[in-house]
Amino acid sequence: MASLNNCLSQIREGGNPDIIVMGDVNIDLAVRAKGHDKTRDTRFLTLNNLSQLIKEPSRVTERSATIIDHIYTNRPEWYPVHGRYDPGLSDHYLIFAARRRHKKEHKTNEVNGRNYRFFNEENFRHDVDSTDWSSVYNAPTSSSAAIAFMEILFGVINKHAPEKLVKSSNDH
């Protein structure tokens, strides 16, 4: 944890306003067992001004349900769409966070963004569940499986939160 704290400190000192750390951390935030130092986990979040976005179990087995796959950010408001999805590939769910586009300090500019105006999480999850993932499962290599996975997932994402070209102006 100390090396991660040092790394995050360097990022903040470098002026980076947005921090996101994600992965299989193997610290179960759902555990309330005797002897677990929950304050250590809370101290890490507080020290770095981070919020944990994933609140539901991200690894589920017949005997346990744990929150060990995390997404930490110092800007939770920038990630309005986040969660977990079980594609059935392993006992770990996929975790995801979609960043909201925010204005940068610049003059008129054209940028790509996503339209979340009509985004419906239930419909999105339904489409992901009903998508044919066989090209991922049957891929000959992990690289081709990853490419197939991203193509399929972004197809569904584009359907529910389509990209659009936006002209923005900001006179700050």
DSSP class of residue 10 equals H
Segment 37-86, tens digit of pLDDT: 666 666 777 778 888 999 999 999 999 999 989 999 999 998 999 999 98
| Segment 106-144, tens digit of pLDDT | 556 777 888 888 889 999 999 999 999 999 999 999 888
Pair 70, 115 in one domain: no
Say how many domains are in the chain. Answer: 2
Judge if 3 and 82 occupy the same domain: yes
Tokens 């500019």: give the residue.
109
Which residue, of 38, 70, 100, is where some domain finishes? Answer: 100
Instruction: Locate 85 and state its tokens.
Output: 């999805």
Domain identity same for 30 and 71: yes
* Alpha-carbon span 73 to 94, nearest angstrom: 17
Average pLDDT over residues 1-7: 74
Amino acid at 11: I
End position of a domain, from candidates 65, 82, 100: 100
* Domain membership of residue 35 as a residue range: 1-100
**Closest among 87, 68, 172, 94 to 135, alpha carbons compared:** 87
Q: Which residues of 26-38 are buried (b: 16+ CB within 10 A; e: fewer)?
A: ebbbeeeeeeeee
79 and 125 belong to one structural domain: no
Task: Give 77-114 pLDDT, tens digit per residue.
Answer: 989 999 999 888 888 899 999 988 766 555 567 778 88
CATH number of the domain enclosing 4: 3.60.10.10
Give the predicted TM-score (pTM) of the model. Answer: 0.54
Whether 135 and 71 map to the same domain: the answer is no
| Whether residue 71 is found in the same domain as residue 7 | yes
Longest dimension (CA), the chain: 57
